[in-house]
Amino acid sequence: MAQKMWAGRFSKATDKDVNDYNSSLPFDCRMYEQDIKGSIAHSSMLAKQGIISQRDAEDIKSGLESILEDIKSGRLTFDSDAEDIHMFIEEELTNRIGDAGKRLHTGRSRNDQVALDQRLYMVDECDEILKLVEELIFTLKETALDNLHTYMPGYTHLQRAQPITYAHYLSAYIEMFRRDLRRIKAARDCTDISPLGSGALAGTTYPLDREYVANQLNMSGITNNSLDGVADRDFAIEFASAVSIFMMHISRMSEEIILYSSQEFKFYELDDAYSTGSSMMPQKKNPDVAELTRGKTGRVYGDLISLLVIMKGLPLTYNKDMQEVQEALYDVVDTIKAVLPPFIGMMKTMTIRKDNMEAAALGGFTNATDLADYLVKKGLPFRQTHSISGKLVFYCIENNTTLEKLPLETFKSFSPAFEEDVYDAISLKTCVEDRKLPGGPSPETVKKYLESI
């Protein structure tokens, strides 16, 4: 086992079990590119400030770039004895370029180094995740534009309530996912700040140029307090929180996909490529993508709770507990990136059973509110018309019919205010298309909304 770079203080080598327990390399190795990027910027700044020579900085940069290339190509594999990705890269660099490699860590601690690496990593991951969420929104938007006149029932308490369109329904999720975009973008912006220069906790006496490093890394600024710079993991919690809310939304949608693709609803027919079967029952076609998405939501919630619990009792500044942040954070990243591609594919390929949607909208007396509103327009108070409409619904249930099939004489037996125009007033087309208020389900309103985003 190689000697630790911090071994000068110790009289014994680290116990193997302790070394394995302490090592974060198995999971923080994914930050190798960000670690190298940050180290190149740091060494460039050290040379600019006259802290190390320009030649040393050039050798460091060349050595780090060769390490990056070798890791990407597979020529260099991670040493299982290394304590973390930072020590692995620094040891490899020193092996390659000699004493210049030992100067890289001047004015820097692993405390501010890991905070920087995590932030750089999360900025990169947020950019990828934002693109995936945008693709989901675009997919829903395109489907909605094709279904401006596809009628379906809206539900409360999972009971048919009022008629809407499928475009209006999808627009509700588009709004949710647009809010998620803003939250993830806000988490990204809070992350995009450099802590480098905070040192272990109290900065350093070297004349570092922190702003120069931030600019080299295309970061928006620097942290304002060295203690907070190394102790802060709010950015990880904010990201996990934003993704948890996103997962809540996509889980709600998954629940409805599971329901609507069932034989009881038959609103959707899932594409064979995005469904699975049963090992015993040959007729089965299961919505596994939606079910897994619903299940993975709980996993992300668990990661968020883990992050909050890890951080809740830590005194300033760095504590080894914070190493545990990484695995929970990476799991959030991996989960949302695993969820979105198959979910988007499922949404793109599913068949929408417009006939069944419309039949459901026609059933269940979804036009009962419009019947009450019709009488209000004839001059009756709403509470009276609500009662009349309810009695007519009860009459229809007792006689196994629907409102639109009742003869005018029956309507008039409940109120003389009914006229022949009642049939147009309670038609599915009128019920949906006359709801033109902003945010409403009329095709005109929904089309205007979709074209605005």
pLDDT tens-digit readout, 335-377: 999 999 999 999 999 999 999 999 999 988 999 999 999 999 9
- 230 alpha carbon, distance to own chain's centre: 26
For the chain, counts of helices (H) and of strands (E)? 20, 4
Alpha carbon separation from 209 to 55, 91, 194, 213 (Å, rounded): 19, 25, 12, 7
Catalytic residue among 73, 157, 279, 452: 157
d(CA 357, CA 53) in angstroms, rounded, equals 73
Q: What is the mean pLDDT of the chain?
A: 95
3-state secondary structure of 281: coil
Q: Is 266 left (phi over 0), alpha (psi -120 to 50) or beta?
A: left
3-state secondary structure of 1: coil
Strands 159-165 and 151-156: antiparallel
Q: Is 98 left (phi over 0), alpha (psi -120 to 50) or beta?
A: left
- DSSP per-residue letters across 187-210: HHHHH--B-TT-TTTT--SS---H
List the beta bridge partners of residue 151.
Answer: 165
Has 157 been annotated as catalytic?
Answer: yes
Q: Tell me the two tokens of residue 283.
A: 């007729």
Residue 446: the pLDDT is 98
Residue 395 in this model has a pLDDT that exceeds 70: yes
Taking the domains of the chain in order of start, what are their residue ranges? 7-106, 121-149+166-206+220-359, 363-452
List the beta bridge partners of residue 153.
Answer: 163
For 275-365, where are the alpha helices, taking DSSP H only? Answer: 288-311, 323-349, 354-362
Tell me if 417 sits within 8 A of 411, measured CB to CB. no
Average pLDDT over residues 103-120: 98
Check: CATH 1.10.275.10 for 7-106? yes
Neighbouring C-alpha atoms within 13 Å toward the C-beta of 36: 22
Q: Tell me the two tokens of residue 354.
A: 């417009």
Residue 108 in this model has a pLDDT that exceeds 70: yes
For residues 24 and 328, the model is more confident at 328
Q: Tell me the two tokens of residue 342.
A: 């198959």
Neighbouring C-alpha atoms within 13 Å toward the C-beta of 96: 19
Tell me if 294 sits within 8 A of 255, measured CB to CB. yes
Residue 15 in this model has a pLDDT that exceeds 80: no
pLDDT interval class at 26 (50, 70, 90): confident
Which residues are CB-contacts of 417 (< 8 A; sequence separation ≥ 6)?
A: 375, 378, 379, 380
3-state secondary structure of 263: coil
pLDDT interval class at 27 (50, 70, 90): confident
pTM across the whole model: 0.93
Name the CATH architecture for the domain at 363-452: Orthogonal Bundle (1.10)
Q: Is the dihedral of CA 139, 142, 146, 152 positive or negative?
A: positive
User: Do you know the residue count of the chain?
Assistant: 453
Query: How many CB atoms sit inside 10 A of residue 100's CB?
Result: 21
Residue 311 in this model has a pLDDT that exceeds 90: yes
Q: pLDDT for 411-437, tens place per residue?
A: 999 999 999 999 999 999 999 999 999
Q: Tell me the two tokens of residue 256.
A: 């409805």
CATH number of 121-149+166-206+220-359: 1.20.200.10
Residue 278: the pLDDT is 87
Average pLDDT over residues 7-26: 68
- Among 63, 109, 61, 114, which residue's Cα sits nearest to residue 84? 114
- The conformation of residue 380, written as its DSSP 8-state character, comes to -
Rounded percentage of the chain residues whose pLDDT exceeds 90: 92
Query: How many CB atoms sit inside 10 A of residue 358's CB?
Result: 18
Residue 5: the pLDDT is 63
Residue 18: the pLDDT is 62
The answer to which of 153-167, 193-207, 274-288 has the lowest mean pLDDT is: 274-288
- Among 405, 403, 407, which residue's Cα sits nearest to residue 389? 403
pLDDT interval class at 125 (50, 70, 90): very high
Tell me if 368 sits within 8 A of 389, measured CB to CB. yes
Please list the helix, strand and coil fractions of the chain in percent, rounded to the nearest 5, in that order.
65, 5, 30
Residue 7 in this model has a pLDDT that exceeds 80: no
Residue 22: the pLDDT is 62
Average pLDDT over residues 42-64: 98
3-state secondary structure of 268: strand
Q: Tell me the two tokens of residue 268.
A: 């959707």
Catalytic residue among 278, 413, 442, 452: 278
Which residues are CB-contacts of 390 (< 8 A; sequence separation ≥ 6)?
A: 368
Which residues are CB-contacts of 383 (< 8 A; sequence separation ≥ 6)?
A: none
